[in-house]
Structure 1
Amino acid sequence: MNYRDKTDISATILEVANGGASKSKIISIAFLNHSSSLQYFRMLLKNNLLVYQKEKRMFKTTPTGIQFLQLYHLMNELVNENNNLSGIQGAT
């Protein structure tokens, strides 16, 4: 498995929770253990990227979290384009 940094893991959680997802579904799809998942849930909730809907017992990505995902995907596209250009002779 490739190394994933906090940003990648956070983005995965937000993608899974977009539209609503249970804690166990998020943990399973994001390949997290219970203790590390708690750290991510706390951080994402604190930063208003994720909300917990108590009545439905599920997490949901907030509009701010969706903005984060859009910027995350844009950043990855730019990095991938730059990596593709690095193989071209004369590219800086």
Structure 2
Amino acid sequence: MVPSNNDGFVVARSKEAKLLGIGDLEPFYKVQHLLRAHGVASFSSNYLLYGDISHRIMTILREFSPNVEVYSIDVMFLDLHGLQEDWQDYGRKIRNTL
């Protein structure tokens, strides 16, 4: 389970946290006792690391399309218009490169 910046809200939940009924964007202080009681680990988010990884991934993805649109820190659209390769093969090449 991962709380948001400054451990304010739950932003990512493990299967175990979901089974306990912990909702997305639940205030972290309200569920902290439940996590401890059931041995569910929580890890504070690391936005510097997340931003660095996002930048590295997006830099690599730019090699696969000359036309890209960055939508957010973790969403990027690649324009693959006119792609001459098989879609599945190209997707595998992207995955393997990443």
**TM-score where L is the length of structure 2:** 0.27
Bigger RCO of structures 1 and 2 (CA < 8 A, at least 6 apart): 1
Return the structure number with greater strand share. Answer: 2
Structure with max Cα Rg:
2
**Structure with greater helix percent:** 1
